[in-house]
Structure 1
Amino acid sequence: MKIGSKSLAGAVAGAALLGAVSVIPAHAAEGWFESHIDSWRVQNESRRWWDNNDTWDYTGIYFAGCEADGGDGFRFADLRLWKVVDGAPDRDKGNERNYCGWVDYGDPNSRGNYYFELTDVSSGSFLSVDYVKVAW
């Protein structure tokens, strides 16, 4: 079977588009926000977001452009997901290691306010991330 130059060009363009779209997972249908991180230390927290739990989508955090101030550079950041509980300690929803990509926490299966906290950074004291996407 012979592929014409237009068909080949279309196939290559389609593959490139598919690759570009799949870089940042968009599985979460209920909501999302984008941000960045400048010089975070351990125990710094993200903004809060409300999850109605209208869908069974996972809660995920995506990082791109990660830097740490230590001599070994960035290797990972440990992030803990929390659910806000008024009048009581916030509920721990799990810790995930982010290697400057996407991490999923599963379906929190509970409506409420959520945030994430930096619990460890691989090298140094400060974490900076050019692009952060949180989706739920």
Structure 2
Amino acid sequence: MQVGRRAVGIVTASVALGFIGVIPAHAEGSRTTYISGWHINNESSRWTDNDIDGANTSVQFSGCSTDSDNGFNDAGITLYKDVFGPDEDHGTRSNRCNTSTWGSQSSGDYYFTLSSLTYGGTLYVKKVVIRY
């Protein structure tokens, strides 16, 4: 009886350790915020990507609206790396109240700006999730 319990314990431990190896990697960091009353060229707060995991940098919008009768259609958002001198432009993505991705970025401080709106002049986003 003792041998049977020991064998069950070894099998259970082996299975548990096997599952540890298949746990997906998580992004180095993320933050959740919102946008209230943004205009063209408004900037997000900065975040630091230490580039320890190779995760893609992304910005996810949900609950988007503008001050236009036409509602929300599209916002252009541009990712910048904060450096001495002019900040590095890492490209603009069209966000249709979904997720915009820039790929894995080198270590540094980053932020994004509102570069365009299809309709209206003021952007509101109920939930913004930044992953890096």
TM-score range, shorter chain: 0.7 to 0.9
Report the 3-state secondary structure (helix = DSSP H, G, I; strand = E; otherwise coil) of the residue aligned with 2:44.
Answer: coil
| Aligned sequence identity (%) | 37
1:74 is aligned to: 72
Pair 1:94-2:91 in alignment = yes
Structure with the larger strand share: 2
Is residue 105 of structure 1 aligned with residue 102 of structure 2?
yes
1:124 to 103, 120, 125: 120
| Corresponding pairs, count | 109
Q: Deviation digits for residues 56-113 of structure 1, max 9, x if unmatched?
A: 1100000000001112110011000000002x100001100000011111111x1100
- TM-score, normalised to structure 1, is 0.77
| Aligned-partner Cα distance in 1 for 2:58–2:65 | 20
CA distance in 1, matches of 2:63, 2:27: 25
Two-structure CA RMSD over aligned residues (Å): 1.4
**Partner Cα distance (1:122, 1:135) in 2:** 25
2:49 pairs with 51, 65, 70, which one?
Answer: 51
SS at match of 1:106: strand
Runs of 4+ in structure 1 over 6 Å off: none
TM-score (norm 2): 0.79
Alignment of 1:31 with 2:29, yes or no, is yes
Distance in 2 between the 1:28 and 1:115 partners?
21
Gaps of 5+ in 1: 1-26
Larger radius of gyration: 2
The alpha-carbon deviation at position 28 of structure 1 amounts to: 5.4
